[in-house]
A and B are shown apart, each in its own frame.
Chain A
Amino acid sequence: AQSVTQPDIHITVSEGASLELRCNYSYGATPYLFWYVQSPGQGLQLLLKYFSGDTLVQGIKGFEAEFKRSQSSFNLRKPSVHWSDAAEYFCAVGFFGNEKLTFGTGTRLTIIP
Protein backbone atom coordinates (compact mmCIF):
# COMPACT_ATOMS: atom_id res chain seq x y z
CA ALA A 1 0.00 0.00 0.00
CA GLN A 2 1.11 3.52 -0.67
CA SER A 3 2.42 5.67 2.15
CA VAL A 4 3.49 9.25 2.55
CA THR A 5 6.06 10.51 5.03
CA GLN A 6 6.52 14.06 6.14
CA PRO A 7 9.49 13.75 8.46
CA ASP A 8 9.23 17.23 9.95
CA ILE A 9 6.36 17.64 12.37
CA HIS A 10 7.09 21.30 13.08
CA ILE A 11 9.30 23.83 11.35
CA THR A 12 10.02 27.40 12.43
CA VAL A 13 11.49 29.92 10.03
CA SER A 14 12.03 33.65 10.07
CA GLU A 15 9.94 35.87 7.88
CA GLY A 16 11.75 36.43 4.62
CA ALA A 17 13.80 33.25 4.90
CA SER A 18 13.60 30.39 2.45
CA LEU A 19 11.54 27.28 3.16
CA GLU A 20 11.66 23.63 2.22
CA LEU A 21 9.14 21.09 3.47
CA ARG A 22 9.98 17.47 2.87
CA CYS A 23 7.72 14.76 1.52
CA ASN A 24 8.64 11.19 0.67
CA TYR A 25 6.31 8.56 -0.70
CA SER A 26 6.34 4.84 -1.10
CA TYR A 27 4.46 3.53 -4.06
CA GLY A 28 5.13 1.19 -6.92
CA ALA A 29 3.41 3.06 -9.72
CA THR A 30 3.87 6.60 -10.94
CA PRO A 31 2.07 8.72 -8.41
CA TYR A 32 0.06 11.86 -8.55
CA LEU A 33 1.44 14.22 -5.94
CA PHE A 34 -0.17 17.12 -4.16
CA TRP A 35 0.58 19.73 -1.56
CA TYR A 36 -2.29 21.14 0.46
CA VAL A 37 -2.27 23.92 3.03
CA GLN A 38 -4.60 24.12 5.99
CA SER A 39 -4.86 27.45 7.73
CA PRO A 40 -5.99 27.39 11.36
CA GLY A 41 -9.62 26.34 11.66
CA GLN A 42 -10.10 26.08 7.92
CA GLY A 43 -10.31 23.41 5.29
CA LEU A 44 -7.56 22.43 2.93
CA GLN A 45 -6.48 24.46 -0.06
CA LEU A 46 -4.60 22.94 -2.96
CA LEU A 47 -1.19 24.59 -3.40
CA LEU A 48 0.08 22.60 -6.34
CA LYS A 49 0.00 19.20 -7.96
CA TYR A 50 2.14 16.98 -10.13
CA PHE A 51 0.67 14.56 -12.65
CA SER A 52 3.32 14.25 -15.33
CA GLY A 53 5.73 16.30 -17.43
CA ASP A 54 7.98 18.96 -15.99
CA THR A 55 9.14 17.79 -12.59
CA LEU A 56 9.30 21.34 -11.21
CA VAL A 57 5.78 22.47 -10.47
CA GLN A 58 4.68 26.01 -9.74
CA GLY A 59 1.78 26.62 -7.42
CA ILE A 60 -0.14 29.42 -5.81
CA LYS A 61 1.20 31.87 -3.24
CA GLY A 62 4.75 31.60 -4.62
CA PHE A 63 5.24 27.93 -3.76
CA GLU A 64 6.94 25.36 -5.94
CA ALA A 65 7.71 21.66 -5.62
CA GLU A 66 10.06 19.31 -7.38
CA PHE A 67 9.32 15.67 -8.11
CA LYS A 68 12.42 13.51 -7.82
CA ARG A 69 11.63 9.97 -8.83
CA SER A 70 15.05 8.61 -7.80
CA GLN A 71 14.51 9.90 -4.28
CA SER A 72 10.75 9.29 -4.13
CA SER A 73 10.39 12.85 -2.97
CA PHE A 74 8.18 15.83 -3.65
CA ASN A 75 9.54 18.65 -1.51
CA LEU A 76 7.76 21.98 -1.24
CA ARG A 77 9.80 25.19 -1.45
CA LYS A 78 9.36 28.91 -1.20
CA PRO A 79 12.22 31.41 -1.58
CA SER A 80 10.89 33.92 0.95
CA VAL A 81 8.14 33.18 3.45
CA HIS A 82 5.55 35.63 4.69
CA TRP A 83 3.85 35.63 8.08
CA SER A 84 0.64 34.57 6.38
CA ASP A 85 2.28 31.30 5.35
CA ALA A 86 2.01 30.00 8.90
CA ALA A 87 -0.22 26.93 8.59
CA GLU A 88 -0.26 23.15 8.42
CA TYR A 89 1.02 21.66 5.17
CA PHE A 90 0.01 18.25 3.89
CA CYS A 91 1.60 16.20 1.18
CA ALA A 92 -0.66 13.67 -0.54
CA VAL A 93 -0.28 10.84 -3.05
CA GLY A 94 -2.76 9.37 -5.45
CA PHE A 95 -2.49 7.20 -8.48
CA PHE A 96 -4.04 6.95 -11.91
CA GLY A 97 -7.57 5.64 -11.98
CA ASN A 98 -8.22 6.22 -8.30
CA GLU A 99 -8.63 9.69 -6.95
CA LYS A 100 -8.46 8.68 -3.34
CA LEU A 101 -5.47 10.27 -1.74
CA THR A 102 -3.11 9.14 0.97
CA PHE A 103 -2.02 12.02 3.13
CA GLY A 104 1.10 12.57 5.17
CA THR A 105 0.77 13.53 8.80
CA GLY A 106 1.44 17.17 8.07
CA THR A 107 4.10 19.74 8.87
CA ARG A 108 3.24 22.72 11.00
CA LEU A 109 4.97 25.89 9.85
CA THR A 110 5.59 28.71 12.29
CA ILE A 111 6.87 32.07 11.09
CA ILE A 112 8.81 34.31 13.46
CA PRO A 113 9.37 38.04 12.86
Chain B
Amino acid sequence: SQTIHQWPATLVQPVGSPLSLECTVEGTSNPNLYWYRQAAGRGLQLLFYSVGIGQISSEVPQNLSASRPQDRQFILSSKKLLLSDSGFYLCAWTGGDRKKLFFGSGTQLSVL
Protein backbone atom coordinates (compact mmCIF):
# COMPACT_ATOMS: atom_id res chain seq x y z
CA SER B 1 0.00 0.00 0.00
CA GLN B 2 1.05 3.57 -0.54
CA THR B 3 2.38 5.62 2.32
CA ILE B 4 3.76 9.10 2.66
CA HIS B 5 6.41 10.06 5.16
CA GLN B 6 7.11 13.59 6.20
CA TRP B 7 9.65 14.79 8.74
CA PRO B 8 10.34 16.30 11.12
CA ALA B 9 6.98 16.58 12.86
CA THR B 10 7.94 19.77 14.65
CA LEU B 11 10.74 22.23 14.12
CA VAL B 12 11.80 25.41 15.87
CA GLN B 13 14.29 27.53 13.97
CA PRO B 14 15.74 31.01 14.45
CA VAL B 15 15.18 33.73 11.91
CA GLY B 16 17.84 33.63 9.22
CA SER B 17 18.60 29.93 9.59
CA PRO B 18 18.21 27.44 6.73
CA LEU B 19 15.37 24.97 6.33
CA SER B 20 15.01 21.54 4.86
CA LEU B 21 11.81 19.52 5.09
CA GLU B 22 11.67 16.15 3.45
CA CYS B 23 8.82 14.10 2.10
CA THR B 24 8.94 10.63 0.61
CA VAL B 25 6.25 8.45 -0.88
CA GLU B 26 6.30 4.67 -0.93
CA GLY B 27 4.31 2.14 -2.89
CA THR B 28 3.73 4.17 -6.00
CA SER B 29 5.66 5.52 -8.94
CA ASN B 30 5.62 8.82 -10.77
CA PRO B 31 3.34 10.57 -8.28
CA ASN B 32 2.48 14.25 -8.47
CA LEU B 33 3.87 15.82 -5.33
CA TYR B 34 2.80 18.96 -3.50
CA TRP B 35 3.83 21.21 -0.66
CA TYR B 36 1.05 23.06 1.15
CA ARG B 37 1.23 25.50 4.02
CA GLN B 38 -1.41 26.30 6.59
CA ALA B 39 -0.75 29.55 8.36
CA ALA B 40 -2.53 30.30 11.62
CA GLY B 41 -6.17 31.21 11.05
CA ARG B 42 -5.94 30.67 7.32
CA GLY B 43 -6.69 27.90 4.87
CA LEU B 44 -4.27 25.69 3.10
CA GLN B 45 -2.14 27.34 0.45
CA LEU B 46 -0.42 25.45 -2.33
CA LEU B 47 3.27 26.35 -2.40
CA PHE B 48 4.83 24.01 -4.96
CA TYR B 49 3.90 21.04 -7.05
CA SER B 50 5.93 18.64 -9.12
CA VAL B 51 4.92 16.30 -11.90
CA GLY B 52 8.32 14.63 -12.21
CA ILE B 53 11.98 14.59 -11.24
CA GLY B 54 13.46 18.05 -11.46
CA GLN B 55 10.13 19.60 -12.47
CA ILE B 56 8.93 22.16 -9.95
CA SER B 57 6.15 24.72 -10.27
CA SER B 58 5.79 27.52 -7.77
CA GLU B 59 2.33 28.80 -7.01
CA VAL B 60 3.24 31.89 -5.02
CA PRO B 61 6.40 33.95 -4.78
CA GLN B 62 8.05 33.40 -1.42
CA ASN B 63 11.17 32.75 0.54
CA LEU B 64 10.99 29.03 -0.06
CA SER B 65 12.13 26.64 -2.77
CA ALA B 66 11.43 23.01 -3.58
CA SER B 67 13.37 20.25 -5.22
CA ARG B 68 12.62 16.75 -6.43
CA PRO B 69 15.88 14.84 -6.67
CA GLN B 70 14.18 11.45 -6.95
CA ASP B 71 10.82 10.23 -8.20
CA ARG B 72 9.36 9.81 -4.73
CA GLN B 73 11.22 12.48 -2.81
CA PHE B 74 10.18 16.08 -2.43
CA ILE B 75 12.16 18.62 -0.42
CA LEU B 76 11.14 22.05 0.81
CA SER B 77 14.00 24.43 1.54
CA SER B 78 14.92 27.92 2.53
CA LYS B 79 18.30 29.60 2.75
CA LYS B 80 17.17 32.11 5.36
CA LEU B 81 13.93 31.71 7.29
CA LEU B 82 11.62 34.63 8.01
CA LEU B 83 9.15 34.97 10.85
CA SER B 84 6.36 34.76 8.29
CA ASP B 85 7.52 31.29 7.28
CA SER B 86 6.03 29.87 10.47
CA GLY B 87 3.15 27.53 9.85
CA PHE B 88 2.05 23.97 9.33
CA TYR B 89 3.54 22.41 6.21
CA LEU B 90 1.92 19.48 4.51
CA CYS B 91 3.33 17.30 1.81
CA ALA B 92 0.83 15.56 -0.45
CA TRP B 93 0.63 13.31 -3.46
CA THR B 94 -1.92 12.14 -5.95
CA GLY B 95 -2.42 8.53 -6.87
CA GLY B 96 -2.84 6.83 -10.21
CA ASP B 97 -6.18 8.41 -10.97
CA ARG B 98 -4.81 11.87 -10.19
CA LYS B 99 -8.03 12.68 -8.42
CA LYS B 100 -7.40 11.94 -4.77
CA LEU B 101 -4.94 13.94 -2.79
CA PHE B 102 -3.23 12.20 0.12
CA PHE B 103 -1.43 14.18 2.79
CA GLY B 104 1.47 13.49 5.07
CA SER B 105 1.25 14.12 8.79
CA GLY B 106 2.70 17.61 8.50
CA THR B 107 5.51 19.64 10.01
CA GLN B 108 4.81 22.40 12.49
CA LEU B 109 7.47 25.04 11.87
CA SER B 110 8.02 27.84 14.34
CA VAL B 111 10.43 30.57 13.35
CA LEU B 112 11.56 32.65 16.32
Task: Point out residues on A near B: beta carbons under 8 Å.
Answer: 4, 32, 34, 36, 41-46, 49, 51, 90, 92, 94, 99-101, 103-106
Q: Is B101 touching A43 in the complex (CB atoms < 8 A)?
A: no
* Chain B residues closer than 8 Å to A42, beta-carbon distance: 105-106
Q: Is the CB of A101 within 8 A of B42?
A: no
Contact of A99 with B90 at beta-carbon distance under 8 Å, contacts A43-B104, A44-B103 already known: no
B44 at the interface (CB under 8 A from A): yes
Contact A51–B101 (Cβ < 8 Å)? no
* A43→B103 contact, CB < 8 A: yes
Q: What is the number of contacts between chain A and chain B, taking CB atoms within 8 Å? A: 46
Footprint of A on B, CB under 8 Å? 6, 9, 32, 34, 41-44, 46, 49, 90, 92, 94, 98-106, 108
Whether the pair B99, A100 counts as a contact (CB closer than 8 A) is: no
**Interface pair B99/A99, CB less than 8 Å apart:** yes
Partner of A51, one of B41, B44, B46, B99: B99
B6→A101 contact, CB < 8 A: no
Query: A101 near B101 (CB under 8 angstroms)?
Result: yes
Q: Is the CB of B90 within 8 A of A43?
A: yes
Residue of B nearest to A101 (CB): B101
Q: List 11 A-B contacts (CB under 8 A).
A: A4-B43, A32-B99, A41-B108, A43-B105, A46-B101, A49-B99, A49-B100, A90-B43, A100-B49, A104-B43, A105-B42
4 A-B pairs with the lowest CB-CB distances in the bound complex, closest first: A105-B43, A43-B103, A44-B103, A103-B44
Q: A42-B105, A43-B90, A43-B105 are in contact. Are A103 and B99 (CB under 8 A)?
A: no
Q: Which of B94, B100, B106 contacts A43 (CB 8 A)?
A: B106
CA A90 – CA B92 in complex, angstroms?
Answer: 15
